[in-house]
């Protein structure tokens, strides 16, 4: 992100436009990460993530990479909180027939076309890789996090993250029959 330091200082000072720049830059990646983990709650969890960011932004110190790691760590904690709450309460499923009559105010076709390839890739990763390997690849590629930032988010050592990423890429390469995947 060009001019990250100035944007961050402005956002910390309460300038909505600067906060909007941060949001515009990172929201798509955060949503993809959360959709991969919890598709039905991704929008709500992303909103909770940004609320926490807004509340704590003034205390943040670091560069762009640290900021990305920080926000993905917040998203991951919101996800864990959601799963703990869901485990404590009972839920009842709603029949498909009830949902058919509910209209969506937006045009889902545009959203689907725009995000389809990224979501297909995440779905393929989830189906192909073990959860920890898939999470490393999603955080590194979609989140744009470094090995160290990914390690902090996942509470793992950087060496472990490198091994998980290598194994994930090797598995994908073997499945696709292409060695070019390893060059990522």
Q: What are the pLDDT digits (tens) for 132-163?
A: 998 898 888 878 899 999 999 999 999 999 99
Q: Which domains does the chain have, with CATH numbers?
A: 1-91 (1.10.1740.10), 106-184 (1.10.10.10)
Segment 63-106, tens digit of pLDDT: 889 999 999 999 999 999 999 988 887 666 667 666 566 655 55
pLDDT at 118: 67
For every residue of the chain, DSSP letters joined together read -TTHHHHHHHHHTT-HHHHHHHHHHHHHHHHHHHHHH-GGGHHHHHHHHHHHHHHHGGG--S-HHHHHHHHHHHHHHHHHHHHHHHHHS------HHHHHTPPPSS-HHHHHHHHHHHHHHHHHHHHHS-HHHHHHHIIIIIS---HHHHHHHHT--HHHHHHHHHHHHHHHHHHHT-GGGGG-
pLDDT at 109: 45
Question: Over pLDDT 90: what percentage of the chain?
Answer: 45
Give this prediction's pTM. Answer: 0.62
Whether 108 shows a pLDDT value over 90: the answer reads: no
pLDDT at 113: 46
Whether 169 shows a pLDDT value over 50: the answer reads: yes
Q: How confident is the model at residue 179 (pLDDT cuts 50, 70, 90)?
A: very low
């Amino acid at each position: 992100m060009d001019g990250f330091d100035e944007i961050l200082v402005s956002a910390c000072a309460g300038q909505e436009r600067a906060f909007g720049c941060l949001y515009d830059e990172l929201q798509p990646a955060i949503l993809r990460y959360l959709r991969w983990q919890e598709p039905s709650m991704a929008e709500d969890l992303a909103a909770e993530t940004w609320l926490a960011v807004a509340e704590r932004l003034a205390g943040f110190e670091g560069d762009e990479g640290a900021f990305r790691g920080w926000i993905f760590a917040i998203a991951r904690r919101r996800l864990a909180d959601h799963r703990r709450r869901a485990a404590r309460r009972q839920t009842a499923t709603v029949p498909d027939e009830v949902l058919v009559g509910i209209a969506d105010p937006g045009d889902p076709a545009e959203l689907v076309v725009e995000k389809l390839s990224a979501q297909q890739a995440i779905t393929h990763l989830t189906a192909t890789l073990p959860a920890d390997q898939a999470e490393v690849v999603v955080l590194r590629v979609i989140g744009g996090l470094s090995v160290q930032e990914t390690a902090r988010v996942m509470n793992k050592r950087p060496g472990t993250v490198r091994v998980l990423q290598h194994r994930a890429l090797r598995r994908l390469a073997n499945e696709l029959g292409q060695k070019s995947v390893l060059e990522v």
